[in-house]
A and B are shown apart, each in its own frame.
Chain A
Amino acid sequence: MANQGEEEYAKFLEKVRRTVYVDELTPHASEAVVKSAFDQFGTVTDLRFLPNYFGPKELPVSVLVEMENEDMAKAVIGTLTQFPFMVAGMPRPVRAAAATPEMFHDRPKKPGSKIQCRWIDPSDPEFDKAKKMKRLVQKHSAETSFMLKKQLEEAEKLDKQQSETATTHYKKFELIDKLYHDGAAKNLASHYNMKSFSFH
C-alpha cells in the first residue's frame, strides 16, 4: 500500500518535472493556440489552464504545459527566459517557470504525510495566538487582493496612456503621409521656394 503510494507520487513528480508553468498569457488564448505555440519546442502531451477563481477576469491566465520529456520542458523554460515569446498574437511576452507540485489540484498525497488538527476553544492557552494568526492571514489576503487591484489599475492606466500616445503619433504620421501623397507638401515647398525632400 505504502509502496503503491510512493510509486504514484514518484510518477507524479516525474510529470511535474516535465511540466512548464506559463503565465502572463492572454485570457483570450485558446487551448489550440497555446498548444501550437509550445509544440515548436517539442511535443505537448497535456495542457491545463489554472483556474482564476478570485481575481478579476482581466488578470493574465496561467497554464501548465506538460511536455513529452524533461529536456523539452527545460528547453521551453530556457528559451522563454532568454527571448520574449508571444502567444496568440498578443504583444505581451509570456513568462515560463518550472512547475511545482502545488500547481496541480489533483496531486496525490505525499507518502507519509498525515493530517492532524485540533480544536482550540477560548479556554485554551493558545487561543489568543490562534486569533492573532487568523487576523494576520485575513489581513494578508485583503492586502493581496488590494494590491492586485491596484496593480491592475496601474497597468490599465499605463496602457491607456501608451495607447493614447500611440494613437496621436499614428495620426501625425498619417497626416504627414497624406500630405506627401496628395502633393500638398511639394506644392507648398515650391510655393515658398524651399528645397523639397522626399520622405521615402
Chain B
Amino acid sequence: MLQSSDADGEESPDFKWGEMKGLGQKDKNVKFYESFTFDGIEYRLFDCAYFCVRGQCETSIGKLVKMFETSTGEKKVKVIWFFRPIDIRSFLGKYEPLWDELFLACGDDLGVSNINDVEAILGKCNVVCQSRHPKNRYPSKDERRMANYLFTCTFDTRLKIISKDFADAIAGIGVEKLFNKKREEQPLKRLNSTAAGSSRPSPVKPFHPDSGSTKLGKKINRDRTSPTRLTLTFILQDLFLKDSASREHLKKNPPVNTDVTSGCPRTKSRASGDLLAPGSSVNPTPSKKRKLRLSMTEPADSYGLVHQPEEKRFIKNPPLVVKAPSQNIPFEDELKEAIEKDRLLLFENLEPSYTSLDVEDLCWQAFNERVDARMIPASLLSSPHNGKALVIFGTTRAADKALSRLTEGYLMLSDERPLVASRNAPKEVGECKRFTGHFTLVDKAQMSIQKASYCNSHVKRLSLPQRSQKSYITCDLTQSLFF
C-alpha cells in the first residue's frame, strides 16, 4: 500500500500511509487507511492526538476515527473531539472534573467531529476511557498511570449536558471503537505511545503535558487545574448562560479547513443564537475546539477572538509550533527549568564550527528528538578543538534515552569524532564574591580616595608631586601588584 504515498512522497517526506482499508463508497477516488506515519510517529485508527491551530496557544485533543486521501491527494483525518474542562466550564455545574479529565464530544451538533489536515497533528496523546460501560474494557492501573488523559463522560454539544451514558454511536462511529482498545491491539498502541524500552524512538514525548516537558505542555497543566474552579464560581453570575452557551460553542468551532466556506457557521449562529445540525458527521465541516482564554470576566473579548479562524492554514511542520514558545522566553530561564527537570545534556567534542541549529538537526537525525540546543560560545579560554553545546530535551525520559544510547554506542560525527554527552549541568548562577586582582586596604574610606585617584591617573601619576606622600606610596604598591 505504500505506493500510493510514493506519488506525493516528495512533498511531505515525513508522511507515509499504512495499510489501506478500502475505497470510498460514494467516491471511489477516496482511499481509506488503517494507519499512517507522520513525523516518525505511527497513528492508527482510534488513536488520540494533539492538534494545533495557528494562533491558538492551547492544543486540542481528538480521536482519529477516519484516515483517508481524497482524489486530489489531500491527506485528511476525521476527528472526534475531546473537550477540556475549561472548554465547557459553563456547563460543568456541580461536576468536579479530575485534573486530567476530558469529555468526549457527542450529540449531533457541530463541533463533535470534523475533518482536518494531517499536518495539524502535533503528536500522539494517550487517552483512556474509565467508563463502566459494558462494552468498555476497564483500563488497568498501569494503563491509567501511563495515560495523559482519561475520560468517563460525554458532553452533548447541543444539550450542553455532561453525561456518563454513551450513545451507541457518535458521529457515525460505533461507540465500542471509541472505548479502550481490546487487549490484542494494545501492544501496538503501547509501542508507539508509551513504551520506554522499545527500540523505536518515540518523539511523542515532547508533547506530553504530564511531564511538563514543553512550555506548551506546562501551560496545559496549569490552565487545566485552576481555571475550572474559577468557572464554577463564575457560573452563578453567568445569567445569559443559554445565550453564551451557543456563543462559546461557536468559538470552539471556528472553521479551519481551507476547502470550506470559512466563517459560515460562525455568522449563522451568532445571528440566530442557536446552531443547526447539518449532519455534521459526514460533512467536512471544519471546526476546531479552541481554548477559551480567561475571558470569562469580559465576554466582549470573545468577539475579539472571532477573527482568528481566518488563519486557516495549518503550519506545515508542526513540531516547530511546539518549539516556538521556547524561543520567546529567554534561554536562561529555559535552561534553569531544564536543569531542575534533568532534561539537559551537555554535548562535547562537536566540531567547533557547528551552529546551534546544526546541533538541533543532529539530534533530530540521531535520536529523532526535537531539542533546543545552544552552542556554548567559544572564548580564548576554551579549547579551540572541542565544541560544546547545551541541549535541552523535551522530557527527562528523552534525555535519558539519548544518554543511554550514547553510552551503548557511539555517534560518529562527520569528521570522525565521536559525540560525548554528559549530564553536566551549569552550576547554579551565583554571585561572584570577589575578583582576584583587586583588594582593599584596611582603611576603606581612605582607600577609596586613593583608588579613585590611582585609577584616574595611573598613567600620569608621577607628574603630580603635590599629592600627599601616603597615597603616593600606596599607588606605587598597588601598581607593583599588577604590572
Residues of chain B contacted by A148 (CB below 8 angstroms): 381
CB <8 Å contact, A173 and B470: yes
Query: 30 A–B contact pairs at CB < 8 A?
Result: A23-B380, A23-B381, A27-B435, A28-B435, A50-B377, A53-B390, A54-B424, A54-B427, A56-B427, A57-B427, A57-B430, A57-B432, A62-B380, A86-B458, A90-B438, A91-B481, A92-B437, A102-B353, A106-B356, A115-B361, A116-B413, A117-B365, A119-B410, A144-B383, A148-B381, A155-B436, A159-B439, A163-B439, A167-B442, A173-B473
Residues 107-141 of B, flagged 1 when their CB comes within 8 A of A and 0 if not, give 00000000000000000000000000000000000
Residues from 33 to 54 in A contacting B, C-beta threshold 8 Å: 50-51, 53-54
CB <8 Å contact, B409 and A119: yes
Give which listed residue, B358, B429, B441, contacts A115 with CB less than 8 A: B358
Q: Does B81 contact A (CB under 8 A)?
A: no
Q: Cα distance A171–B390 when bound, in Å?
A: 50
CB <8 Å contact, A104 and B478: no
Chain A residues within CB distance 8 Å of chain B: 21, 23, 26-28, 50-51, 53-60, 62, 84, 86, 89-93, 95, 97, 100-110, 113-122, 126-127, 130-131, 133-134, 137-138, 140-141, 144, 148, 152, 155-156, 158-159, 162-163, 166-167, 169-171, 173-174, 177, 199-200
Q: Cα distance A123–B474 when bound, in Å?
A: 69
For B417, the closest partner residue in chain A by CB is A133
Using A102-B352, A162-B439 as known contacts, say yes or no to A140 and B374 having CB atoms under 8 A apart. Answer: no
Residues 452-483 of B, flagged 1 when their CB comes within 8 A of A and 0 if not, give 10110010000000000110011001100111
Q: Does B295 contact A (CB under 8 A)?
A: no
Using A62-B380, A140-B386 as known contacts, say yes or no to A170 and B427 having CB atoms under 8 A apart. Answer: no
Q: Cα distance A51–B379 when bound, in Å?
A: 10
Residues 309-320 of B, flagged 1 when their CB comes within 8 A of A and 0 if not, give 000000000000
For B455, the closest partner residue in chain A by CB is A89
Residues of chain A contacted by B366 (CB below 8 angstroms): 117, 119
Q: Cα distance A84–B481 when bound, in Å?
A: 13
For B366, the closest partner residue in chain A by CB is A117
For A54, the closest partner residue in chain B by CB is B426
Residues of chain B contacted by A57 (CB below 8 angstroms): 427, 429-432
Residues of chain B contacted by A59 (CB below 8 angstroms): 381
Using A119-B366, A140-B383, A177-B470 as known contacts, say yes or no to A102 and B433 having CB atoms under 8 A apart. Answer: no
Q: Does B378 contact A (CB under 8 A)?
A: yes
Residues of chain B contacted by A92 (CB below 8 angstroms): 435, 437-438, 482
Q: Cα distance A175–B65 when bound, in Å?
A: 93
Q: Does B411 contact A (CB under 8 A)?
A: yes
CB <8 Å contact, A107 and B355: yes
For A56, the closest partner residue in chain B by CB is B427
Q: How far is the CB of B360 from chain A (nearest CB, A)?
A: 10
Q: How far is the CB of A22 from chain B (nearest CB, A)?
A: 10
Residues of chain B contacted by A55 (CB below 8 angstroms): 381
Highest count of chain A CB atoms <10 Å: which of B348, B354, B379, B452: B379
Q: Does B255 contact A (CB under 8 A)?
A: no
Residues of chain A contacted by B365 (CB below 8 angstroms): 115, 117
CB <8 Å contact, B348 and A141: yes
Give which listed residue, A105, A116, A121, A171, contacts B442 with CB less than 8 A: A171
Give which listed residue, B357, B437, B442, contacts A170 with CB less than 8 A: B442
Q: Does B375 contact A (CB under 8 A)?
A: yes
Q: Cα distance A29–B42 when bound, in Å?
A: 53
Q: Does B376 contact A (CB under 8 A)?
A: yes
Give which listed residue, B386, B411, B451, B469, contacts A89 with CB less than 8 A: B451
Q: Cα distance A121–B432 when bound, in Å?
A: 44
CB <8 Å contact, B376 and A53: yes
Q: Does B97 contact A (CB under 8 A)?
A: no
Residues of chain B contacted by A86 (CB below 8 angstroms): 455, 458
CB <8 Å contact, A105 and B438: no
Give which listed residue, B352, B424, B435, B458, contacts A60 with CB less than 8 A: B435
CB <8 Å contact, B437 and A155: yes
CB <8 Å contact, A120 and B413: no
CB <8 Å contact, B378 and A103: yes
CB <8 Å contact, A58 and B434: yes
